[in-house]
Amino acid sequence: MKYVEDRLYAEQLLNEAEILNPGPWVQHSKNVAKAAEYIALDLLKAGYEIDPNIAYTSGLLHDIGRYIGFTPSVIHALDGYLFMINKGFEGTANVCITHEIAITDLELINGWTEIPLHVQKQLSALQNQIEWTIYDKLIRVCDALADDKGFSTIEKRIVSAAIRNGVNSNSPISWKYYFIIKQEIESIIQKSIYRCLPNIEESIYTDMALIGRK
Ligand SMILES: [Fe+2]
């Protein structure tokens, strides 16, 4: 599976997307990339087969579908997938889907009913087709470990997203998956993933985003 490996190319794609749709999502993406690289380095140290460089570029590009501008719910996941698949990077494209679509019953996704039927069908087909790799899992959890200000606890990110985007009675199902992946990675690196993230404690002191989309 092909992933973007050239960091400069990934940064260029993000810069171009920022021109089209500036917002906190860009800095968030940079921080997700850093978190993913840090954790990947520890996975590598523990003997796990992973490329920290791919972890970084996957983090940088996971929200690239936001280049289009604001779209409701998880539509940016499909836009990102199509953007990256058109450039020939299936692995990176998959991350654009899997960072948002981690539960089996897609109707439980917050805002699912706001998504046009043809997009729902495409997302559903892709969800059935994609086989998750370590990069999908890593970016799924790192998406919840970094905001635009820096690294964050997962709990703080969840509450911020809940305030900004709302929740439904099924939201805890997708929240649970963050902690399942976290524990899976921690069982490999034999320490808390927060130990991989420098100055994570600063997240106690920074305000959480209360308005707008991530
Ligand atoms: Fe994200």
CA of 25 to the centre of ligand 1 (A): 7
The one-character DSSP state at 105 is -
Range in 7-21, 78-92, 113-127, 184-198 the model is least confident about: 113-127
* Predicted pLDDT at 111: 86
What is the mean pLDDT of the segment spanning 51-58?
A: 98
CA of 61 to the centre of ligand 1 (A): 9
Whether the pLDDT of residue 40 is over 80: the answer is yes
* 21 C-beta neighbours (distance < 10 Å), count: 16
CA of 44 to the centre of ligand 1 (A): 24
What is the mean pLDDT of the segment spanning 47-53?
A: 98
Whether the pLDDT of residue 213 is over 90: the answer is no
- Ligand 1 (ion): residues with CB under 5 Å are 63, 143
Q: Is 143 left (phi over 0), alpha (psi -120 to 50) or beta?
A: alpha
Task: Give the integer Cα–Cα distance in Å for 40 and 54.
Answer: 9
CATH topology for 7-204?
Answer: Hypothetical protein af1432 (1.10.3210)
What is the mean pLDDT of the segment spanning 118-139?
A: 95
CA of 51 to the centre of ligand 1 (A): 20
Contact predicate 41/52, CB 8 Å: yes
* Predicted pLDDT at 122: 94
Task: Give the integer Cα–Cα distance in Å for 31 and 48.
Answer: 23
Could you give the C-alpha distances from 58 to 63, 82, 91, 166, 190, in angstroms and in order?
9, 15, 9, 26, 24
The residues spanned by each domain of the chain are: 7-204
Range in 13-17, 84-88, 104-108, 168-172 the model is least confident about: 104-108
**Across all residues in the chain, what is the average pLDDT?**
94
Task: Give the integer Cα–Cα distance in Å for 51 and 40.
Answer: 7
The one-character DSSP state at 130 is P
CA of 84 to the centre of ligand 1 (A): 16
What is the mean pLDDT of the segment spanning 63-82?
A: 95
* Predicted pLDDT at 214: 40
CA of 68 to the centre of ligand 1 (A): 15
* Predicted pLDDT at 170: 83
pLDDT in tens, 154-190: 999 999 999 988 888 888 988 999 999 999 999 999 9
CA of 127 to the centre of ligand 1 (A): 18
CA of 172 to the centre of ligand 1 (A): 18
CA of 59 to the centre of ligand 1 (A): 8
Whether the pLDDT of residue 137 is over 80: the answer is yes
